[in-house]
Amino acid sequence: MATRKASKTASAAAGGGTKVTLDMVAAASGVSPSTVSRILNGTAVVSAAKRAAIDRAIAELGFVPNPMARGLAGGRTLSIGVITQAIDSPFYGAALRAIETELHAAGYSPLFVSGHWNPVEEKRCVDLLCARRVDGMIVLDGALSDDQLRNLADSMPVVVTGRKLRAPRLYSLDFDHFEGARLATQHLLALGHRQIAFIGGDPLHADATLRLRGYRAALKEAGVRYHAALVVAGDYRETSGQAAIEQLLARGERFSAIFAANDQMAFGAALALHLRGLRVPDDVSLVGMDDLAAAAHTIPPLTTIHQGPQELGRLAAIALLQLLAGGTPVATPSTPRLMHRASTRPLAAPV
């Protein structure tokens, strides 16, 4: 009782519900369905004459292969699962966009699902994607255990970001968080700052730990003592950056500069300073990390470390495609670099 109306004009004009099948193409071009299938998949060499006839028939009939039949028969779906933490995050959004572009170009469709930083939800995402029989998965950060990931890679190629992990059919990919944080801190040190507050991320995540280490390494290199009281843990969201500064101020800590482990927390920190009547960069210098699109449009424009989530997404997609093709990916995210904007300035000479 399908309500679906068969389009009278067979033309694919509207991109509508084409009902043309491979068998019809075969009949129209006088060859067997097998041959048509082979052409479609590049599975075998076919005589030029037949090839031409088939191509014409396909074009005339407006044939579009049915992915479900294809998937059922061929054992693949040409869809790949992408687990992200929040589809509306400014950071992941850029990565997703790059993944989408890259995958489509290769004939795959991404299936995005969000884990919301919640292990239980993330597990559900994995199950959903498995149920959908995706051909592979890209996991952007998240809280899945290394073991879960290895298990997953047992049944399909997997690319994961945000951690280092070696396993068959599994490729991991990450920014150099340590180096990025080191760079940011060095920048502040070079400007003469010595009392540098650090707003970090959740210490349970590897990237957060690495960023803290980068901060400490830079201090050490410069011979500046590490001061635990100047370090506050946030959760990478604006409000946590704001809260961190309020806490520091309430405790009466003194600092001339702040390094926030991501831009979103830097935005929150800037707001907290503003509400307290402190100006950036006149009273306090501020550095973020990630270089979100918004970083260039805040007041003042934020000095930050460029990490290109877009690039990460692209590399992850390409790596998965290589895995899918049976190859061994080698991807090297470009090294982090400082985007010097208006939120930092040399420390005013001490009176």
Partner DNA sequence: CTGAAAGCGCTTACAG
Q: Return residues touching a copy of itself (CB under 8 A).
A: 2-5, 7, 13-18, 64-69, 71-72, 75, 77, 86-90, 93-94, 96-97, 100, 104, 109-114, 123, 126-128, 130-133, 148, 151-152, 154-156, 169, 238-239, 242, 267-268, 270-271, 274, 293-294, 297-301, 326
Site membership for DNA, residue 204 (CB under 7 A) = no
Nearest alpha-carbon partner for 207 in 253, 140, 111? 140
Contact 218, 279 (CB under 8 A): no
Contact 118, 143 (CB under 8 A): yes
Beta carbon nearer to a copy of itself, 156 or 184: 156
186 binds, options DNA, a copy of itself, none, Cβ within 5 to 8 A by partner type:
none
- List 69, 105, 190, 296, residue binding DNA (CB under 7 A): 69
Q: How many residues bind DNA, per CB under 7 A?
A: 30
Q: Nearest distance from residue 208's CB to DNA, in Å? A: 42
Site membership for DNA, residue 72 (CB under 7 A) = yes
- List 11, 41, 109, 145, residue binding DNA (CB under 7 A): 41
Facing residues of 338 across strands? 305
DSSP state of 176: -
Site membership for DNA, residue 1 (CB under 7 A) = yes
Nearest alpha-carbon partner for 164 in 141, 182, 184? 141
Alpha-carbon span 227 to 216, nearest angstrom: 9
Beta carbon nearer to a copy of itself, 35 or 298: 298
Say whether 174 sits in a helix, a strand or coil: coil
Q: Nearest distance from residue 180's CB to a copy of itself, in Å? A: 21
Q: Nearest distance from residue 328's CB to DNA, in Å? A: 22
Site membership for DNA, residue 63 (CB under 7 A) = yes
Alpha-carbon span 182 to 231, nearest angstrom: 15
Beta carbon nearer to DNA, 63 or 267: 63
Alpha-carbon span 315 to 311, nearest angstrom: 6
Beta carbon nearer to a copy of itself, 171 or 178: 171
Site membership for DNA, residue 327 (CB under 7 A) = no
- List 50, 97, 163, 227, residue binding DNA (CB under 7 A): 50
The strand pair at 231-233 and 196-200 is best described as parallel
What are the angstrom distances between the C-alpha of 305 and each of 43, 112, 180? 47, 27, 6
Alpha-carbon span 252 to 246, nearest angstrom: 10
Site membership for DNA, residue 7 (CB under 7 A) = no
Torsion of CA 218, 220, 225, 227, to 10 degrees: 50
Nearest alpha-carbon partner for 288 in 255, 262, 258, 256? 262
Could you list the residues that contact DNA (CB under 7 A)?
Answer: 1, 19-23, 31-35, 37-38, 40-41, 43-47, 50, 63, 65-66, 69-70, 72-75
